[in-house]
Chains A and B, each alone.
Chain A
Amino acid sequence: MPGLEDLYREIILDHYRSPRNRGELAVPPAHKVEGFNPLCGDEVVLYLDVNADGVVEDLKINGQGCSISQASTSMMSSAVKGKPVAEARKLIRAFKALMSIHESKLDGESDGSDLAADLEGVKLGDLEALQGVVKFPVRIKCATLAWNTLAQGLDESENPAASA
């Protein structure tokens, strides 16, 4: 039986208590995107500034939610800030793989080989602390909210016409 310490690792509680990159950016030039978890009312507001070289130059986050969604959002912001968009996308895929969500598989079962394929050599670092969430299925959506919102934000800022 998974215990609370699997879910609420110290680094997660640290990001929850002291969230990184909180705030807003002027829109434009930044792009604003919102994500909701309708089941629990969690909300992520993401301000994304992708520069001409395709690098996530800055990002800020706002919103509210449980410790898992807040910590995951904070950790995501630290992980992608300063990274090229392509690398941010790899991180999204790798993070979802960590959450046992494999785009190519329907049953959501992790068997390691998929994880390796999806990770593509990406180093998750601190983010791996969130792996314990997998043992608490109802909380996976809390952890992935920020990442789905980021994916949407990257799509929209690369293709502004489609989001208008």
Chain B
Amino acid sequence: MSFDVDAIKKDFPILEREVHGKRLVYLDSAASSQKPEVVLDAMDRVYRDHYANVHRGVYTIAEEATQAYEGARAKVARFVGAPSSSELVFTRNATESINLVAYSWARANLVAGDPIVLTQLEHHANVVPWHILAAERGVELRWIPLTADYRLDLSNLDELLDGAKLLAFSAMSNVLGTITDVRELAEAGHAAGAKVLVDACQWVPHAPTDVQEWGADFVAFSAHKMLGPTGIGALWAPAELLDAMPPFLGGGDMIRDVRLDGFTPNDLPWKFEAGTPPFVEAVGFGAAVDYLEAIGMDRVRAHEREVTAYALDALERRFGDRLTIFGPTDVDLRGGAISFALNGIHAHDVSQVLDEDGVCVRAGHHCAKPLMRVLGVSATSRASFYLYNDTADADALVDGLTHVEQFFAL
């Protein structure tokens, strides 16, 4: 079976709508993806037919809801190559997953002066939790710089990692599209004695993931960027590590016993899941990975690679030097998020005029202000491609940008 993007488009009800009388061309999946019918249906079915709070319920529908929740966990765990679903903690999103590591593992293990190594291309989700920790604990933040061609500059890596307790980085930049070499970095981090956290928020939706092959210690991602619902994300870490960590949030579900003089935490993974979990969303998450798995992540990656190459080429041919791409141009080194600046026109104006053509692109700092400062810009426009985008969508972008240029011509 070849990759049938027309058939895939039909699975996403929103892609049938129009804005301003134009076909909706959704090029903002790096911010959040659209949802296929099967995900919407799966969640709807739980609410309609199997809805009751999970865990400890004795009656039939409570047992059904629990099985659906734990079944979804097993699917997501398998999807990223986790050896056991007990190592897959559901969170609200990737941001919460990273905060879980910062509040639980880091606060139990790091002291003043301990170095944490980050990169200059991180999303705020992998920056601010560490700033908070630095302010509270006095840990030292170090930054892996970028090369002129928008990749990580690893020439001083050994020095940066000297004495480091944690190396935390994104597997794929949400701004530049840059793919980082997770295995190589994880090895270097471990060789220096650091734990390794991977922000896989932009990777897991777009390419095959095997957390064991990566060899990292923590892997964070969000459902909403991979066809699933909002309100649920995941953290993977090996059981020994999770077992040794103190709980994060306290409350129901995360305990085995509570007494007047204390509590005993629950087993993994529930130890880190306080309160009623987003179990309906988990079922949607499970349906999303079923959908992606049926297509095959290697084919998702191959398709996006093709469309991204087409778009980069079309942009270059239409606009030449008038358009600056912030990111690698070699599609082997990048994903489908294309940040650009057009002819001195502000990103907000670009996005506003494109909207008139039904083309949705994001404008702004993309929650990566330190990176914007490195790039020397205050905002970029970003078009990002996913499995439901085709070359016609890329053409719509290029034609829309011509309208933008005409509109703001000096």
- For chain A, what secondary structure do more than half of its interface residues adopt (helix, strand, loop), or is it mixed? mixed
A8/B348 contact (C-beta < 8 A), A41-B364, A41-B372 known: no
Pick from A16, A41, A136, A142: contact of B378, CB below 8 A. A41
A40/B364 contact (C-beta < 8 A), A1-B20, A66-B346, A67-B346 known: yes
Taking a contact as CB atoms under 8 Å apart, the answer to whether A7 and B352 are in contact is yes
Sorting the interface of chain A by its residue count into under 10, 10 to 19, 20 to 34 or 35 or more gives: 20 to 34
Query: Closest CB-CB distance, A69 to chain B, in whole Å?
Result: 8
**Bound Cα distance A49, B147 (Å):** 44
Taking a contact as CB atoms under 8 Å apart, the answer to whether B348 and A142 are in contact is yes
**CB-CB contacts of B108-148 with A at 8 A, as 1s and 0s?**
00000000000000000000000000000000000000000
Q: Is A68 an interface residue (CB 8 A)?
A: yes
Residue of A nearest to B409 (CB): A17
A4/B353 contact (C-beta < 8 A), A40-B364, A41-B379 known: yes
Q: Is A65 an interface residue (CB 8 A)?
A: yes
Q: Which residues of A contact B372 (CB under 8 A)?
A: 41
Q: Which residues of B contact A16 (CB under 8 A)?
A: 408
Taking a contact as CB atoms under 8 Å apart, the answer to whether B378 and A39 are in contact is no
Taking a contact as CB atoms under 8 Å apart, the answer to whether A66 and B348 are in contact is yes
Taking a contact as CB atoms under 8 Å apart, the answer to whether B20 and A68 are in contact is no
Query: Closest CB-CB distance, A149 to chain B, in whole Å?
Result: 16
**Bound Cα distance A4, B348 (Å):** 13
Residue of B nearest to A67 (CB): B349
**Bound Cα distance A43, B378 (Å):** 9
Taking a contact as CB atoms under 8 Å apart, the answer to whether B346 and A65 are in contact is yes
Taking a contact as CB atoms under 8 Å apart, the answer to whether B352 and A139 are in contact is yes
| B interface size (C-beta, 8 A) | 20
Q: Is B356 an interface residue (CB 8 A)?
A: yes
Query: Closest CB-CB distance, B135 to chain A, in whole Å?
Result: 19
Residue of B nearest to A13 (CB): B408
Taking a contact as CB atoms under 8 Å apart, the answer to whether B356 and A4 are in contact is yes
Taking a contact as CB atoms under 8 Å apart, the answer to whether B349 and A42 are in contact is no
Q: Which residues of A contact B369 (CB under 8 A)?
A: 41
Taking a contact as CB atoms under 8 Å apart, the answer to whether B364 and A39 are in contact is yes
> Number of A-B pairs whose CB atoms are under 8 Å?
46
Q: Is B365 an interface residue (CB 8 A)?
A: yes
Taking a contact as CB atoms under 8 Å apart, the answer to whether A41 and B407 are in contact is no
Taking a contact as CB atoms under 8 Å apart, the answer to whether A41 and B352 are in contact is no
Query: Closest CB-CB distance, A40 to chain B, in whole Å?
Result: 5
Taking a contact as CB atoms under 8 Å apart, the answer to whether A4 and B379 are in contact is no
Q: Is B363 an interface residue (CB 8 A)?
A: yes
**Bound Cα distance A39, B348 (Å):** 11
Q: Which residues of A contact B407 (CB under 8 A)?
A: 4, 8
Query: Closest CB-CB distance, A111 to chain B, in whole Å?
Result: 27
Pick from A42, A64, A136: contact of B352, CB below 8 A. A136
Centre residue among A7, A39, A40, A65 by max chain B CB count within 10 A = A40
Query: Closest CB-CB distance, B297 to chain A, in whole Å?
Result: 34
Q: Is A3 an interface residue (CB 8 A)?
A: yes
Q: Which residues of B contact A40 (CB under 8 A)?
A: 347-348, 363-365, 378-379
A139/B20 contact (C-beta < 8 A), A41-B378, A43-B378 known: no
Q: Which residues of A contact B364 (CB under 8 A)?
A: 39-41
Taking a contact as CB atoms under 8 Å apart, the answer to whether B352 and A3 are in contact is no
**Bound Cα distance A88, B127 (Å):** 42
Query: Closest CB-CB distance, A142 to chain B, in whole Å?
Result: 7
Taking a contact as CB atoms under 8 Å apart, the answer to whether B353 and A64 are in contact is no
Task: Return the 9 tightest CB-CB contacts between A and B, nearest first.
Answer: A41-B378, A66-B346, A66-B348, A41-B379, A67-B349, A66-B349, A4-B356, A40-B364, A17-B410
Q: Name 8 extra pairs, CB < 8 A, besides A1-B20, A40-B363.
A: A4-B407, A7-B352, A39-B364, A41-B364, A43-B378, A66-B349, A139-B348, A142-B348
The contact sample of 15 A-B pairs, CB cut-off 8 A, is A4-B353, A7-B352, A17-B410, A39-B364, A40-B348, A41-B365, A41-B377, A41-B379, A43-B378, A65-B346, A66-B346, A66-B349, A67-B408, A68-B348, A139-B348
Interface residues of B (CB under 8 A from A): 20, 345-349, 352-353, 356, 363-365, 369, 372, 377-379, 407-408, 410
